[in-house]
Structure 1
Amino acid sequence: MDETRGDGGLHRIVFDAPARSWLEAAPLGNGRLGALVHGGTARERISLNDGTAWSG
Structure 2
Amino acid sequence: MYVWLFRQLPGPLWLKILLSLAILAGALVVLDQFVFPWMAEVTHLTDATVAQN
Please, what TM-score do these two structures have when normalized by structure 2? 0.21
Q: Choose 1 or 2 for highest CA Rg.
A: 2
